[in-house]
């Protein structure tokens, strides 16, 4: 990404508005999105995923042109966080605000969630005036996504029994399997960089493990990227040191995806091999699936002594792979690849001695990373809009035609 390549990418930083996006939206089969929840990207059809990207870009276009997108006069958007969050929480709050909902937060430490409070009790108590409920729960294998389904089922039951005036939409803000709001915003970043979804076909994207001095990081981003990008004809490579495997079910899904959609899926334990001729590098740290399985069992058994021991063992094992880091040398055999990360990233020489990326390389890609992060609020808002309104194309047309100023202009 030197010289002309840098200039080329910088010219693309301001993403284009999809031409005739409302007409495109009208041609998609998205009726089933109304009243639905969002658990995993693999649950959604390609039309439904494309609709989210179209609506997200439309909302961004309206806001950037100072047009109000307030479609709710009141209502709550409640975020339940059973794991700490800054960026995703802020993105969810921003999405709610963009549409006119007031964001509210429930953290594990603020309730009885950590003491086993029933999902039903929590869900109903926070949902009497809620239009959307976001849940973040990714720390333990087999628990996060299961908890989200329990919450959604309880909300549905509460609505059927007349306890709730409506069923709030549930959105997965990260679970043990997937991080759909993150991967959907990552994909929208690529759609805009490469000027269209169809132009991603045949692009080589590497989902690579990277060293970090911290431990216990979730698998959900890497798994989500692999599961999503293999649906659109991309050549996806999973790269990690031996023993740092992801969920086997996700690999099987990726293999099935390429049989249906084209492209390819491969694995390697060589960072150098993976990066060769790559168009896109997505490199971040994650905890091996086998370790997370052990961690979950120890947590279930309340064996906190062995849990701390396991974490120390993982930290020691990580230290053997410090060479798995993004540097200019690591990137030299790529096709001037775009670097991606979900942020925050561990930067060697800034936040740590050895990290996922060195400071010089981070600075080279900093603008792209921040632009990548900027899509998340719009993606979440699009998920909400498509779940809460039947005719979203008409709604967008009305917002555009009404041209109500978001921020009053005083002459």
334 is in which domain, residue-wise? 180-373
Task: Indicate whether 155 and 213 sit together in one domain.
Answer: no
* Same-domain pairing of 150 and 208: no
- Give the residues across from 357 on adjacent strands: 326, 347
According to DSSP, residue 345 is labeled -
Q: Is residue 9 part of a domain?
A: no
Q: Is 306 domain-assigned?
A: yes
Q: Is residue 1 part of a domain?
A: no
Q: Tell the burial category of 225 from Cβ atoms under 10 Å away from its Cβ (0-12, 13-18, 19+).
A: buried
Q: How confident is the model at residue 122 (pLDDT cuts 50, 70, 90)?
A: confident
Whether 294 shows a pLDDT value over 90: the answer reads yes
What is the band of 33 on the pLDDT scale with cuts at 50, 70, 90? Answer: very high
My answer on whether 48 and 168 are in the same domain is: yes
Joined together, the tokens standing for residue 238 give 């999973």
Query: Has residue 350 been placed in a domain?
Result: yes
**142-191 per-position pLDDT tens digit:** 999 999 999 999 999 999 999 999 999 999 999 999 999 999 999 999 99
What sign does the dihedral 212-218-219-223 (CA atoms) show?
Answer: negative
Task: Enumerate the β-bridge partners of residue 352.
Answer: 348
pTM of the full structure: 0.94
User: What is the β-pairing status of strands 264-268 and 235-239?
Assistant: parallel
Tokens of 12: 């693309």
Give mean pLDDT, residues 56-78. Answer: 96
Interval 291-309 mean pLDDT: 94
Domain shared by 208 and 152, yes or no: no
What pLDDT is stored for residue 116 in this prediction?
Answer: 54
Shared domain for 160 and 253, answered yes or no, is no
Mean of all residue pLDDT scores within the chain: 93
186, 77: one domain? no
Question: What is the 8-class DSSP label of residue 344?
Answer: -
CA atoms of 362 and 327, how far apart (whole Å): 9
pLDDT tens digits for range 314-353: 989 999 999 999 999 999 999 999 999 999 999 999 999 9
Q: What is the mean pLDDT of residues 199-221?
A: 95
Question: pLDDT class for 110, splitting at 50, 70, 90?
Answer: low
**Coil, strand or helix at 281:** strand
Shared domain for 129 and 241, answered yes or no, is no
117: in domain: yes
Residues 191 and 276 in one domain: yes
In a domain, 4, yes or no: no
Asked whether residue 61 is domain-assigned, the answer is yes
Q: Tell me, letter by letter, the H, E, C secondary structure of 18-52.
A: CCCHHHHHHCCCCHHHCCCCECCHHHCCHHHHHHH
Query: CA 361, CA 110: separation in Å to the nearest integer?
Result: 40
Same domain, 194 and 300: yes
Residue corresponding to tokens 């269209």: 196
1-6 long-range contacts, CB within 8 A, separation 24+: 1/331, 1/336, 1/337, 1/338, 1/364, 1/365, 2/336, 5/336, 6/364
Q: Are residues 259 and 387 in the same domain?
A: no
User: What is the CATH number for 47?
Assistant: 3.40.50.1370
Residue 409's pLDDT is 86
Per the structure, the count of domains in the chain is 2
Res 21: pLDDT: 82
The pLDDT of residue 111 is 61
Percent of residues, the chain, with pLDDT higher than 90: 87
260 and 284 share one domain: yes
* d(C-alpha 78, C-alpha 101), whole Å: 9
Q: Is there a single domain that holds both residue 40 and residue 63?
A: yes
Whether 5 is in a domain gets the answer no
């Amino acid at each position: 990404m030197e010289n002309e390549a840098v200039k080329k990418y910088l010219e693309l930083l301001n993403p284009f508005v999809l031409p005739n996006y409302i007409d495109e939206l009208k041609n998609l089969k998205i009726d089933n999105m109304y009243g639905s929840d969002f658990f995993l990207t693999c649950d959604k059809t390609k039309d439904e995923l494309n609709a989210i990207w179209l609506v997200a870009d439309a909302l961004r276009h309206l806001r950037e042109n100072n047009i109000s997108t307030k479609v709710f006069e009141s209502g709550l958007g409640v975020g339940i966080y059973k794991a700490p969050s800054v960026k995703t929480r802020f993105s969810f709050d921003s999405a709610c605000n963009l549409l006119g909902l007031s964001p509210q937060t429930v953290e594990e430490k603020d309730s009885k969630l950590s003491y086993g409070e029933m999902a039903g009790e929590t869900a109903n108590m926070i949902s009497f005036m809620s239009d959307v409920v976001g849940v973040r729960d990714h720390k333990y294998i087999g628990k996060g996504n299961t908890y989200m389904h329990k919450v959604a089922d309880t909300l549905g039951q509460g609505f059927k029994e007349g306890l709730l005036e409506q069923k709030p939409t549930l959105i997965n803000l990260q679970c043990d399997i997937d991080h759909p709001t993150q991967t959907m915003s990552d994909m929208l970043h690529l759609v805009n960089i490469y000027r269209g979804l169809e132009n991603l076909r045949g692009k080589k994207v590497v989902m690579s493990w990277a060293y970090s001095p911290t431990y216990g990081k979730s698998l959900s981003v890497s798994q989500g990227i692999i599961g999503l990008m293999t649906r659109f004809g991309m050549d996806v490579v999973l790269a990690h040191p031996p023993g740092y495997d992801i969920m086997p079910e996700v690999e099987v899904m990726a293999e099935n995806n390429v049989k249906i959609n084209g492209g390819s899926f491969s694995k390697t334990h060589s960072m150098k091999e993976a990066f060769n001729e790559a168009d896109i590098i997505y490199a971040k740290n994650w905890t091996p699936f086998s370790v997370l399985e052990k961690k979950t069992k120890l947590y279930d058994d309340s064996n906190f002594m062995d849990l701390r021991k396991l974490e120390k063992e993982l930290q020691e094992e990580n230290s053997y792979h410090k060479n798995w880091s993004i540097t200019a040398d690591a990137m030299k055999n790529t096709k001037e690849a775009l670097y991606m990360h979900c942020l925050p990233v561990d930067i060697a020489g800034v936040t740590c001695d050895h990290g996922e990326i060195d400071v010089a390389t981070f600075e080279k890609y900093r603008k792209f990373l921040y632009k990548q992060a900027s899509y998340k609020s719009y993606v979440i808002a699009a998920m909400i809009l498509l779940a809460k309104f039947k005719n979203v194309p008409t709604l967008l047309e009305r917002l555009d035609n009404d041209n109500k100023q978001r921020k009053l202009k005083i002459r």
